[in-house]
Structure 1
């Protein structure tokens, strides 16, 4: 004779320790998977995706440099997870400029200021095109790591950028200072250095003593800050 289960029997089954443990396991796994995705695999396509947590804890962003339009900033396509997540073999960075325009981040190199290019009818600073060419040859079409610190008034992510070269991982801001392609950022508001301000200032001092890049101009050298005061603020 077949046994017929009753609603009471089914209720007891739901609260069986094994069922409770299984439910807890599934819930915990789902929660941890979601946390892992948000932290490591969710693409950051705009500053709206850059959560306060990412900024507060300086979560690194791995991605591809799609465009370099100035001497101290560039466009960056986030490829979370890198090769392990399929980038470069299962997934590729879009080549359509229209797509990239809405899916790339503008990165402002922390701690430095490059010579100003010609804007709005204003003359360019000496070495502004040199700085652009240097940065373009150094970064364009390469994968880099960006450590975000803040978002500036122009909605650019201010952060540290590192790129792999044959001689190891390089800090791009430091390399620009070393070659005299930029100076240490002069502004008091919005300045971001991470933990590298002293190092950056030592590199600038050495480049100045060796008269590298823009420091070769000697007394004729106008800092980007002074240039902006002269040509944009009417001083």
Structure 2
């Protein structure tokens, strides 16, 4: 090691009697330097052999695998859907959605704000993962969910009066789900671009077993607040076993009182409107 660092690499001059030897050494050194410079010039600028060494390949493989895994998990489990139309067909009958209920429109449908990953992904406690509460922020940013397998009494709309027990069904569903996290098992989309699915909820004050998973459709049927969905096409229960379970619950509910199904109600109101239009025409 030379000292100080800025000192020349050449050794100090020897005495005059060694000068011929030093001159011959200098000539040999300059010749060697010229040949080594020419060899360096012929070498490639980038040595590709360094990229085939294990110490380079192993970290590169680990980093690439980690990045691809994060992208895969993000797209498969942490992708947020803003509305029902955006839900990928891969989710139908295969996957479920976790979200917070933001509004209840009727006795058998409501809207959720999709929160993929739930609290484990930071929803509810990270500052940038808060469920909005303003109506302006929720517009076009929620999934419209239709409860599978049931039909609740109709609230007043299209000029028709409300069906008996419609207000009770809407009030119960609102108190049962509003601002709660629910899991929706998507079956399909209906003609109104809603996500038809089986909905489950867990409640801390659920007696006798807290946080027990409850099927919302089944709970409404047991309480006599809905009937089994009846239609020529488009009925969805999530399987034959669930259909049998729903029909059994409806049977017990009907023993406690007569509940006109929404289908019967619509048929009756349609007949009344047709008769009214007919009388109006004769007048």
Q: Which moved more, 1:23-32 or 1:156-165?
A: 23-32
Aligned to 2:120: 84
Structure exhibiting the larger radius of gyration computed from Cα positions: 2
Aligned to 2:150: 112
Q: Contact conserved, 2:187 with 2:236, CA < 8 A, in 1?
A: yes
Quick check: 1:45 aligned with 2:82?
yes
**1 or 2 for the larger relative contact order (CA 8 Å, sep ≥6)?**
1
Distance of 1:227 and 1:188 partners within structure 2 = 16
Q: Which residue of 126, 130, 134 corresponds with 1:96?
A: 134
Q: Contact conserved, 2:202 with 2:213, CA < 8 A, in 1?
A: yes
TM-aligned CA deviation for residue 104 of structure 1: 0.5
Per the alignment, in what secondary structure is the counterpart of residue 62 of structure 2?
A: helix
Q: How many residues align?
A: 226
Q: How large is the RMSD of aligned CA atoms in angstroms? A: 2.3
Q: Which residue of 241, 244, 251 corresponds with 1:205?
A: 251
Q: Which residue of 177, 192, 195 corresponds with 1:154?
A: 192
Using the size of structure 2 for normalisation, the TM-score is 0.74
Distance of 1:48 and 1:7 partners within structure 2 = 56
Q: Which moved more, 1:121-130 or 1:224-233?
A: 224-233
TM-aligned CA deviation for residue 18 of structure 1: 4.3
Using the size of structure 1 for normalisation, the TM-score is 0.88
TM-aligned CA deviation for residue 38 of structure 1: 1.5
Aligned to 1:67: 103
Aligned to 1:25: 62
Quick check: 1:141 aligned with 2:187?
no
Aligned to 1:230: 268
Which segments of 5 or more consecutive residues in structure 1 lack a partner in the other structure? none
Q: Contact conserved, 2:85 with 2:193, CA < 8 A, in 1?
A: no
Distance of 2:139 and 2:172 partners within structure 1 = 23
Which segments of 5 or more consecutive residues in structure 2 lack a partner in the other structure? 1-32, 275-283
